[in-house]
């Protein structure tokens, strides 16, 4: 691994982009807190919907950070695998859960390496049939993109909570009108205060819901873009340097050796042999 660290630089661009965006957003929140805007919003919102939106936003941001860090690690691992496989080492063998190159170098662990392992196992076990990785690619896409679906749900939930606060605020604003007595100045003054509180609830909940939804959508958009690039890299790597070699070499010059422990295969090695 130290040799790999020297030969192949780390690629954590998705995480760096997320940190830059979140840093700018956090700076904006600090300014709003410094000037008392957040305190004013929390004090004016009697329904506490704005506070709930803030808590949900923090939780969704934490989830996005975890997913972005995972995609960054997978991207770094995929770049290392691409550098090793594309340097002209098609003879790969599977040993347990690892994939080894002919010179004994182990491919970095990750979902891309696991996908390559599944391809080698499938090529060695299915015989001379055409190697189709469509189902395996679908499984890889689901594994990479599945947890990201929480982002669309969270952003939509913040928007719906903001609209709920708007409706509740208008109800609070219009409720005093039913018992309003125009001849009673005290009643009018009290009703105006209640209407002002209802309007504050409607405006602050709408504002917090919109801001939280927009910021979450931006974060998860960057995450989805990084995930799509990772999946594209995995597709290019396997189609060009793995599947093509397995398709070309298997009938004439590849020999699959399967060593079994009981009924479970523990090693599959694809070797070049001289054609008959």
pLDDT mean for each 10 residues of the chain (276 residues)? 49 87 94 92 89 94 94 90 74 80 82 88 76 85 88 91 91 73 63 78 92 94 92 88 72 43 45 42
Q: What is the pLDDT of residue 33?
A: 94
Selection from 71, 211, 66, 59 nearest residue 144 by Cα: 71
Tokens describing residue 224: 């989805």
* The model's pTM: 0.78
Q: What is the pLDDT of residue 189?
A: 66
Instruction: For tokens 């004016």, name the residue.
Output: 44
């Amino acid at each position: 691994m130290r040799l790999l660290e020297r030969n192949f630089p780390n690629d954590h661009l998705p995480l760096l982009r997320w940190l830059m965006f979140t840093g700018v957003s956090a700076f904006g929140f600090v300014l709003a807190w410094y000037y008392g805007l957040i305190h004013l919003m929390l004090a004016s919102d009697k329904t506490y919907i704005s506070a709930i939106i803030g808590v949900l936003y923090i939780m969704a941001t934490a989830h996005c950070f975890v997913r972005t860090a995972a995609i960054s690690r997978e991207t770094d691992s995929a770049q290392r695998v691409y550098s090793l496989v594309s340097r002209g080492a098609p003879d790969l063998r599977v040993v347990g859960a690892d994939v080894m190159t002919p010179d004994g170098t182990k491919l970095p662990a990750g979902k891309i390496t696991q996908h390559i392992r599944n391809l080698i196992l499938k090529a060695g076990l299915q015989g001379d049939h055409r190697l189709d990785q469509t189902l395996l690619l679908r499984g890889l896409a689901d594994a990479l993109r599945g947890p990201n679906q929480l982002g669309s749900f969270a952003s939509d939930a913040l928007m719906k909570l903001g609209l709920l606060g708007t409706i509740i605020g208008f109800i609070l604003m219009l409720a005093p009108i039913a018992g309003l007595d125009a001849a009673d100045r005290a009643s009018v003054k009290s009703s105006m205060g209640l209407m002002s509180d209802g309007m504050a609830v409607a405006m602050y909940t709408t504002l917090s819901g919109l801001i939280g939804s927009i910021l979450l959508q931006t974060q998860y958009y960057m995450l989805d873009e990084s995930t799509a690039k990772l999946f594209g890299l995995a597709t290019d790597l396997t189609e060009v340097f793995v599947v093509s070699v397995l398709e070309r070499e298997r009938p004439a010059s590849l020999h699959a050796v399967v060593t079994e422990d009981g009924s479970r295969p523990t090693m599959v090695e694809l070797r070049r042999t001289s054609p008959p």
